[in-house]
């Protein structure tokens, strides 16, 4: 499979938390094509792809949902108000076209901003919040209802040779990486019983993966998510795109497995970076760890620029190297 | 109507060449004379019935940026061409220079912000996927234009896109040329450069043509949104062409203003008088250059000078209709 193309297709699909089915369906079709697997969509909406084996039970997790907006109020004419879930800077929503998912299909709307000619000093200096934003619905505004969800109308594209820009690369980059890992496993004789979980509802409160983890009850859980790349955070090492997978360390991670995968990366000459976490990683890992009697976990992140904006940016090489490392790690039964 | 195609062409101030080529190609066989002048303005003449001259203008340029520096980390610094609110540019796709290199205007993830962080052009960088200065320099150079990426869309009643100001005016002029009107005056259609950087194109056209009067066709502000008090709006969408009584740098010629209103009234064309004096148009430059009496008629628009503006198709049609009627009449 072509990782780039899969990622672009995944980015262009819309799947706000609770409405991930188009993404889940696409992943299911790709997974069934590239490997001998059994697939199941559970009650919650998670897709579980099982590559059956006799050995240790290992589950890998990537959330499929994306940040989105909700229509909250009707104003005069074709204007509505919006809010968000998932944590979005209101400034990146200004002057964007959104796809509103109505009961009768897609309506396009523009989040407008008063022309600079008409702004006075007060408006110019204003700190814009979601309360100040409005959406100008340009198609079938009669069919738009309070509660309809909306997503960024951005189309993924190649940024230079190695980078892809697009929406929802958080966390479709991990989804594509897991699919590529699944494909790479075809080259190995694998003993482990492997579950690839494409989970729902991370951005609205981390409820998807934890339910799947409870059901599978794996011996090891490996969570794939994205992290901030190429931006200096005080007191943190600078994580860079193009420098390989990020191995997370902190209280949500099992240190024995962390050492194992780190040593394996060195053996395979996979460049890796280490990211420390405080109390929380703000990923599904935090909750999976305390499921049932406790599950040993690993968190691997793909560095990403401009998280939760209409054009997030990832480096394809980071995804490929993450998949390479994972495929060897899985083939060795998590050793 | 060529508004969708025109909006998608990159043509920031000083880099109008592609817009000019598009327009020239469509109109060159329908005019009596056509030239590109020393500054890059496109001037086309259609002869009329009397030996007097009307110049009608629209500007080809749009707001955008120019590359001001290439940073050590491969990011591109930009400075605006025309007035742009820095709050509207984050997270946008852009096209840079003749090689049409794609980029993204980056923004800090909300997770890493401490409270509200203000935006200014100094801390806005364009990401072209380069990680080193040398790599970026092989694709982009200082002085290249930076245009918002093509994004026009035609809806049932509306058009949205990056450069409706003033490709709306350009499209109207093209429609006027192609509709085969029985023009009263020798009519010079001037598609001018660099309106947004200080009205730099229209003066030389007025000097060269020395018209008896001029009409400036613009795409103007409205402010008719739920966040802005109705009494401070300058126009409203869906209410027809906007006739300007006065704006920064020019008070419309009284005779021309009254004539336009009369034609609209007599023909039941909806129209509105612009309610604010903010913003200027090429009429101000024409007045200074040749003292030519001018009239400003505009398509009302939302969110101009941003990557995504909106016009109402009925306003476009009514603006075209009003101008079609003015151009076949004796005005002065």
Show residues of chain A in contact with B107, CB under 8 Å.
Answer: 89, 91-92, 306, 309
Contact A159 B107 (CB under 8 A): no
Q: Where are the alpha helices (DSSP H) in chain A?
A: 3-12, 21-34, 121-125, 169-184, 208-216, 255-268, 285-288, 316-331
pLDDT at residue A207, rounded to an integer: 85
pLDDT one-digit tens code per residue, B135-145: 999 999 999 99
Contact A124 B85 (CB under 8 A): yes
Is B251:B257 a contact under the CB 8 Å cutoff?
Answer: no
pLDDT at residue A206, rounded to an integer: 79
pLDDT at residue A163, rounded to an integer: 98
Is A161 one of the catalytic residues?
no
pLDDT at residue B117, rounded to an integer: 87
Retrieve residue B158's tokens.
Answer: 């509306």
Active-site amino acid positions of B: 195
Give the domains, in start order, of chain B with CATH numbers.
Answer: 3-62+162-327 (3.40.630.10), 64-148 (2.40.30.40)
Residue B87 forms contact with A (CB below 8 Å): yes
Query: What's the mean pLDDT in A288-311?
Result: 97
Q: Give the A:B interface size as CB pairs under 8 Å.
A: 171
Report in angstroms the alpha-carbon separations of B204 from B57, B218, B297.
Answer: 12, 18, 21
* pLDDT band, residue B114 (cuts 50/70/90): confident
Chain B CA closest to residue A131: B227
Nearest CA among A116, A128, A89 for reference residue B85: A116
Chain A CA closest to residue B219: A115
Closest CB to A138: pick one of B139, B158, B228: B158
Contact B310 A115 (CB under 8 A): no
Contact A89 B279 (CB under 8 A): no
pLDDT one-digit tens code per residue, B28-45: 999 999 999 999 999 999
Show residues of chain B in contact with A233, CB under 8 Å.
Answer: 112
Contact A306 B128 (CB under 8 A): no
pLDDT at residue A203, rounded to an integer: 85
* pLDDT band, residue B65 (cuts 50/70/90): very high
- pLDDT > 70 fraction of chain A, expressed in percent and rounded: 100
Q: How far is it, in rounded angstroms, from Cα A314 to Cα A319?
A: 8
pLDDT one-digit tens code per residue, A158-204: 999 999 999 999 999 999 999 999 999 999 999 999 999 999 998 88
Residue B248 forms contact with A (CB below 8 Å): no
Query: Does this model's pTM top 0.90?
Result: yes
Show residues of chain B in contact with A308, CB under 8 Å.
Answer: 109-111
Show residues of chain B in contact with A228, CB under 8 Å.
Answer: 109, 111-112
Q: How far is it, in rounded angstroms, from Cα A25 to Cα B246?
A: 59
Give the domains, in start order, of chain A with CATH numbers.
Answer: 3-66+167-331 (3.40.630.10), 68-152 (2.40.30.40)
Tokens 């969708």 sit on residue: B4
Query: What's the mean pLDDT in A212-232?
Result: 97
pLDDT one-digit tens code per residue, A69-111: 999 999 999 999 999 976 899 999 999 999 999 999 999 999 9
């Amino acid at each position: 499979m072509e990782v780039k193309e899969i990622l672009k297709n995944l980015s262009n699909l819309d799947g706000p938390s609770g409405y991930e089915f188009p993404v889940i369906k696409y992943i299911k079709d790709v997974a069934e094509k590239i490997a001998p697997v059994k697939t199941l969509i559970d009650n919650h909406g998670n897709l579980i792809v099982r590559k059956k084996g006799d050995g240790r039970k290992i589950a890998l997790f990537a959330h499929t949902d994306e940040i989105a907006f909700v229509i909250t109020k009707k104003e005069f004419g074709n204007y509505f108000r919006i809010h968000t879930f998932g944590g979005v800077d209101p400034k990146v929503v200004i002057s964007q076209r959104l796809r509103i998912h109505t009961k009768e299909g897609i309506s396009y709307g523009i989040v407008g901003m008063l022309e600079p000619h008409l702004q006075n000093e007060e408006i110019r200096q204003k700190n814009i919040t979601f309360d100040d934003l409005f959406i100008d619905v340009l198609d079938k505004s009669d069919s738009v209802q309070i509660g309809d969800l909306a997503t960024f109308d951005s189309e993924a594209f190649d940024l230079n040779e190695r980078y892809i820009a697009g929406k929802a690369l958080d966390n479709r980059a991990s989804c594509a990486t897991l699919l590529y890992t699944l494909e790479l496993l075809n080259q190995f004789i694998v003993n482990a019983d492997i579950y690839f979980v494409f989970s729902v509802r991370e951005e609205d409160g981390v409820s998807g993966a934890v339910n799947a983890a409870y059901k599978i009850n794996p011996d090891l859980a490996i969570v794939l998510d994205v992290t901030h790349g190429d931006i200096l955070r005080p007191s943190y090492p600078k994580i860079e795109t193009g420098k390989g997978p990020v191995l997370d360390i902190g209280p949500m991670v099992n240190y024995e497995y962390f050492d194992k995968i780190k040593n394996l990366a060195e053996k395979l000459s996979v460049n890796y970076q280490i990211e420390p976490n405080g109390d929380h990683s703000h990923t599904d890992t935090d909750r999976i760890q305390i499921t049932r009697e406790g599950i040993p976990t690993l968190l691997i992140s793909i560095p990403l620029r401009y998280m939760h904006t209409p054009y997030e940016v990832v480096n394809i090489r980071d995804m490929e190297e993450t998949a390479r490392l994972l495929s060897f790690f899985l083939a060795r039964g998590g050793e | 109507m060529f508004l969708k195609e025109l909006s998608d062409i990159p043509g920031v101030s000083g880099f109008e060449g592609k817009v000019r080529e598009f327009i020239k190609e469509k109109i060159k066989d329908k005019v009596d004379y056509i030239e590109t002048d020393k500054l890059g303005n496109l001037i086309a003449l259609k002869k009329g019935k009397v030996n007097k001259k009307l110049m009608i203008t629209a500007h080809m340029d749009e707001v955008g940026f120019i590359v001001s520096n290439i940073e050590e980390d491969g990011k591109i610094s930009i400075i605006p061409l025309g007035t742009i609110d820095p709050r509207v540019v984050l997270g946008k796709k852009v096209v840079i220079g003749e090689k049409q290199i794609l980029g993204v205007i980056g923004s800090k993830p909300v997770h890493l912000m401490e409270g509200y962080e203000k935006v200014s052009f100094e801390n806005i960088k364009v990401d072209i996927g380069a990680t080193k200065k040398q790599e970026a320099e092989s694709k982009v150079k200082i002085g290249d234009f930076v245009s918002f990426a093509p994004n026009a869309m035609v809806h049932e009643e509306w058009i949205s896109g990056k450069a409706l100001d003033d490709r709306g005016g350009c499209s109207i002029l093209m429609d006027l040329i192609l509709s085969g009107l029985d023009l009263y005056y020798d009519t010079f259609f001037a598609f001018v450069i660099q309106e947004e950087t200080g009205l730099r194109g229209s003066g030389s056209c007025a000097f060269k043509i020395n018209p008896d009067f001029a009409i400036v066709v613009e795409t103007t502000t409205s402010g008719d949104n739920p966040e802005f008090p109705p009494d401070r709006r300058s126009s409203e969408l869906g209410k027809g062409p906007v006739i300007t009584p006065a704006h920064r740098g020019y008070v419309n010629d009284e005779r021309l203003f009254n004539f336009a209103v009369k034609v609209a009234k007599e023909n039941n064309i909806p129209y509105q008088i612009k309610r604010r004096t903010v913003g200027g148009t090429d009429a101000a430059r024409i007045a200074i250059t040749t003292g030519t009496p001018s009239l400003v008629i505009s398509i009302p628009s939302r969110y101009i000078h941003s990557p995504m503006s909106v016009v109402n198709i009925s306003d476009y049609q009514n603006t075209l209709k009003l101008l079609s009627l003015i151009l076949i009449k004796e005005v002065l």
